[in-house]
Amino acid sequence: MDLQTKLPLKAQQHNPIDYHSKIALFGSCFSEHIAGKFDYYKFQKFNNPFGILFHPLAIEQLITNAINEKVYTEDDLFFHNEQWHCFEAHSKLSNVSKDHLLEALNNRVNTTRNFLIEASHIVITLGTAWVYRQIETDTIVANCHKVPQKQFLKELLSIDVIVESLEAMIALIRSINPKVTILFTVSPVRHLKDGFIENTQSKSHLISAIHQVVDSRNRLHYFPSYEIMLDELRDYRFYKADMLHPNNLAVNYIWNRFQEVWISDEAKPTMQDVEQIQKGLQHKPFNSNSEAHQLFLQKLSDKQASLQSEFHHIQF
């Protein structure tokens, strides 16, 4: 008996992800979940240097600034609620010190550019097509930082504007890294603060735009995390208590489906070894001084050393 409508997915034959890959992830909070999985399994990854970015124009701005080596100055900051903020970054970077914020922004711009040059794969997760335009400067912001809403106009990006933004991202990235594989996905998180119908509009604009630029022959791909959540996990038991965000069970399920498509067969035994070590490090013994536990720790240390001799970037 089949109790699911499963999406037919094929394993990626060209340039799958392995332990030599370098994966950059940008976008909505769902990209944080996937980055967490890459981190747990000790892949080489780099994610959201400016924090969570929900819409395509914010991601494009970050990539543009990184590639053009923008230098942030005091003019890019503002003071609100006893902290300094930047409209191009998430509030997790905000700081009581203006100098510390500027240092963080400029360091992360440089790090982003360097990683974009070296990346083998770039994963871009789009969360929403709704944006906020600051009235005073007539610019679209990445984050409003709880500035009063009367200072912004809310807009829905058209499909054409999103397509232009995605094409700009691709051209910019390929200008410094022509062989990189770029993977687009749409966050399964529902933005119901915009409204039920408005959320559907937003997601449909994102999906329509992405499918105008994806081209597997040109190493531009789409992974259906949004569709997996809606069709394979069609039940509220896969959501957190807010009924909006996927819970751990859903994240693990989507990650497993991602593995089926994008993780190379050669990498999977190493992933199993990493997971054994991770679980071993979390093990809490009844008697930490026992001979059995000391032997367990020695075997664990030997397994770590063996992995690290093969993959020098792996650190526990």
Strands 78-80 and 83-85: antiparallel
Could you list the pLDDT tens digit for every one of the 316 residues in the chain? 777 889 999 999 899 999 999 999 999 988 899 999 999 999 999 999 999 999 999 999 999 999 999 999 999 999 999 999 999 999 999 999 999 999 999 999 999 999 999 999 999 999 999 999 999 999 999 999 999 999 999 999 999 999 999 999 999 999 999 999 999 999 999 999 999 999 999 999 999 999 999 999 999 999 999 999 999 999 999 999 999 999 999 999 999 999 999 999 999 999 999 999 999 999 888 888 888 888 888 999 999 999 999 999 999 9
Which residues, 6+ apart, have CB-to-CB distance to 207 below 8 Å? Answer: 186, 226
* Rounded distance between C-alpha atoms, residue 73 and residue 105, angstroms: 10
Going along the chain from its start, the domains and CATH numbers come out as: 22-266 (3.40.50.1110)
pLDDT score of 30: 82
Q: Which of 137, 163, 135 is nearest to 57 (CA)?
A: 163
Contact 168, 162 (CB under 8 A): no
Please measure the distance between the N-terminal and C-terminal CA atoms of the chain and give it in whole angstroms: 43
- pTM confidence score: 0.94
